[in-house]
Structure 1
């Protein structure tokens, strides 16, 4: 499935939060709050990209920022019923391409250790650069490591 990608804005936060709630289980503590998303959207270099299915339903999104020559993927989520169709890869490829066209020479992201998305990031050429012990906290207090991945975009 090829999703239709479009630029999102604060008016799209209901759809973003619906996808985020379905994509990030509470037990890991990865999801952002609505106020966190709303607070970062107006900042310089921040972009929200929506992935819509053929019926104009938002099924995924990416949120990232590019500052000078550095781009960071803050969030990428695809609702569970739409996974395995290449939407996450499409959003990731869009992020990398936009980072390059914006002059970024390095892109990075952070992900919970054990998250199946790691395979997608590694396939795209990202390499693990760091580990933050006990970074994520689930609702039950369980702690999970965060892994930092980096991709150098210089040719």
Structure 2
């Protein structure tokens, strides 16, 4: 089943892309359960920039989102560290936005940890901060870090 292979690809990126300090990564069951829910979608990007990586090693990044009516939330977005700063995250986010637009979404949402360097990429694509959840994330040292809610109107 292709979805099982894609779940393997997502998890391969997940294990390297999210720093364990903040507990942002999902486990395999969480991702698998999300994929079973209607109105959830995902996208992959290969090291060559293509949408269908040939294997685990050539999978550079992914997104996972869910939609309700005309709104879509970007649940997870990641590029493996060895593939960063090559334009792949930019291409993947642009594809996510274009697909959401083609599905008739009017607004996109995401939440990110304050200080997450991906914030620059989100701003580049037009996401704007709309709220803060103080102390939402907790680091392994006990430090509390705010989550920043962002929106993009399509």
Per the normalisation by structure 1, the TM-score is: 0.88
Larger relative contact order (CA 8 Å, sep ≥ 6): 1
2:90 pairs with 1:96: no
Aligned mates of 1:68, 1:102 — CA distance in 2:
10
Deviations 1:39-98 (A, max 9, x none): 110111111111112473111001111221001111110000100011111111111111
Unaligned runs of 5+ in 2: none
Aligned mates of 2:139, 2:4 — CA distance in 1:
26
Specify the alignment match of 1:52 in structure 2: 46
Specify the alignment match of 2:79 in structure 1: 78
Per the normalisation by structure 2, the TM-score is: 0.89
2:7 pairs with 1:13: yes
Residue correspondences, number = 146
2:25 pairs with 1:31: yes
After TM superposition, what 4+ stretches of structure 1 lie above 6 angstroms from structure 2?
none
Aligned mates of 2:6, 2:101 — CA distance in 1:
25
SS across alignment from 1:32: coil
SS across alignment from 1:136: strand
